[in-house]
Structure 1
Amino acid sequence: MLRFVNLTLAGVSQGMIFAAIALALVMIFRATRIINFAQGAMLMITTLIAWSVLQHSRSYWLALAVALGSGLVLGAVTERVFIRPVESKSPLNAVVVTLGLLVMINSVAGMIWGNSPHSYPPAFSLQGFQVGGVRLLFSPADLFTIGAVAFTMLALVLLFRWTVLGLQMRAAAYAPEIARLIGVRVSRMLTIGWALSALVGSLAGVLIAPAVFVGPVQFESVLVYAFTAAIIGGLDSPVGAVVGGLLLGCVLSYVSGYAGSEITPLAALAALMAVLMLRPSGLLGSSTGRSV
């Protein structure tokens, strides 16, 4: 029984890490209808910037603030410089641009910080809570991650459903021509969407850095699982991103704990295929177009 509880807690912790990045993917897709394959590289370089600040200031919270600020700037600049020239063309063009950005950012990070991974301290202790003389595989750092991701999910849900800015962003993404006719500045909404997505990605990078270290290639495997979680939950649903992350995290934890870690990629593929066969739009994704 204790083993099952520990595997469940480990799955929840791991799932929230997947959910953190999945939220960034959902944010950019919902705001611009683009799948950003450079998301991992963007959060990686902002986390490296935060790591540099941390080395000089020794302040976790200052480093986090710098990561979020640099994410906002990076997202806005990316949309203005690289994405805007292809926004009016085929959506495939923007996807190809994000793939090019992935290669470019990884190369720049390698030239500045090197290819060796760097350790990143957590905000709180990694030692598991002790309950009744038993040490659980669930720490204050895990609790902080869960709280931060849950807060981000709630903020995105409120943004898109209950604010004028969120409604304008949805309108700009789904029907830009009509949005322009009613006075929405579509180009500004797309810039804000990219900026907010990069901000969420920067938060995710800092949250997962203690578990995977920080380097140009350290986030790639986590990004694959996060992308899987986003598809399972539904690419246009912030709540779905968290649900998909938790589901995938628990599945991988159980499979690793009872059957061996070598088959966890197959388990992730099986979970993805099972969900898509039953509901192609994802567990909480929209099967029809939204009205804006």
Structure 2
Amino acid sequence: MVEFVNLTLSGITSGMVYAAVALALVLIWRATRIVNFAQGGMLMLTTFLAWSVIDRGGSYWVALAVALIAGLALGAIVERIVIRPVENKPPLNAVIVTLGLLVVLQAVAGMIWGGQPRSYPPAFTIQGFKLGETGLLLSPFDLFVIGAVAVVMVALILLFRRTDLGLKLRASAFAPEVARLLGVRVGRMLTLGWALAAVVGSLAGVLIAPSVFVGPNQFDAVLVFGFTAAVIGGLDSPVGAVVGGLVLGCALSYVTGYISSDIVTLGALAALITVLMVRPNGLFATSAGRRV
């Protein structure tokens, strides 16, 4: 029983990490209808900047602020310079561009910081709590990760459902011509969507870094699992991203604990196929007849 509880707690923590990446993917999908495969490279770059701040004696919180600000600027720059020329082209063009951008960002990071993974300190202790004499795989830093992702999820829900800005972002993504006729600055909304998604991705990178270290290719697996979580939950839903992350995290934790860590990737594939067989569009997918 203790093993099951610990595997579940571990799955929840890792699932929230995947959910953080999934939320960034969901945000950019809802705001621009593009799947950003460069998200892993973008959050890697901003996490490296945060690591540089800490390496030079800065505090964790200053480094986090630097990562978020850098993410905001990077997202806007990428949309304006890289994505804007292909936004009205066939969807495959944007996919290829984001994959190419991922390779470029990883190469740039390797040239600046080298290929050696660097350790990243957590905000709080990673020593697990104790329940009597039983140690739990849940630490203060894990609670911080869970709380931070939950806050981001709630903020995104409120943004898209309760604010005029969220409505403009969705209108710009789904019906840009109509949005322009209604006075919406579609270009600015698309830039803002990428910038906000990059901020969420930067937060995810800082939260993940203590577990996977910081390196040019260290976030690749997390991006894959984050994308899987987003698909499981439904690419349109912030709640789905978090639920998808939790489903995937727990599934992988159980596979690792009860079977073998060598088949974790197969466990992710099995979880994805199982969910899509029941709900082809994801657990929280909206109906096809959508109102903007």
Q: Same fold (TM over 0.5)?
A: yes
Corresponding residue for 1:116? 116
SS at match of 2:171: helix
2:181 corresponding residue in structure 1: 181
Give 1:290 shift.
2.1
Q: Secondary structure at the match of 1:57?
A: coil
1:156 and 2:184 matched: no
Tell whether 2:267 aligns with 1:274: no
Deviations 1:217-267 (A, max 9, x none): 000011111110100000010000000000000011111111111112111
| Partner AA of 1:264 in structure 2 | V
Question: Structure 1 stretch 34-43 or stretch 126-135: which is displaced more?
Answer: 126-135
Q: Contact (CA 8 Å) 1:119, 1:213: kept in 2 or not?
A: yes
Cα deviation code 1:75-132 (max 9, x no counterpart): 0000000111111211211111111101110000000000000000000000000111
- CA gap of 1:291–1:6, structure 2 versus 1, over 3 A, is same
What percentage of residue pairs aligned between the two structures are identical? Answer: 69
Q: Deviations over 1:161-215 (max 9, x none)?
A: 0000000000000011111111111000000000000000000000000000000
CA RMSD of aligned residues (A): 0.7
Q: Does 2:18 match 1:18?
A: yes
Please list, as runs of the form range in 1=range in 2, the aligned pairs for 1:53-132 lying within 5 A after superposition. 53-132=53-132
Q: Give the ranges of 4+ consecutive aligned residues of structure 1 lying more than 6 Å apart after TM superposition.
A: none
What corresponds to 2:247 in structure 1? 247
Corresponding position of 1:256: 256
CA spacing shift, 1:289–1:53, aligned 2, 3 Å: farther
- Supply the AA of the counterpart residue of 1:33: R
User: Which stretches in structure 1 are left out of the alignment for 5+ residues?
Assistant: none
Post-superposition offset of 1:57:
2.9
Q: Is the 8 A contact 1:233 1:285 kept in 2?
A: yes
User: After the TM superposition, which residues 186-225 of structure 1 pair with which residues of structure 2 at under 5 Å, given as runs?
Assistant: 186-225=186-225
Whole-angstrom distance in 2 between the partners of 1:102 and 1:253? 28
Give the distance between the partners of 2:50 and 2:290, measured in 1 at CA: 37
Distance 1:266 1:276 in 2: 15
Q: CA–CA distance in 2 between the matches of 1:188 and 1:280?
A: 33
Residue 287 of structure 1 corresponds to which residue in structure 2? 287
Give the partner amino acid of 2:13.
S
Shift of 1:58: 3.1
Displacement after TM superposition at 1:287 (Å): 3.2
Amino acid at match of 2:14: Q
State the TM-score, normalized to the length of structure 1.
0.99
Alignment check: 8 A CA contact 1:281 1:287 kept: no
Q: Which runs of 5+ in 2 are unaligned?
A: none
The residue type equivalent to 2:266 in the other structure is: L
How many residues are paired up?
292
C-alpha separation between the residues in 1 aligned to 2:245 and 2:6? 18
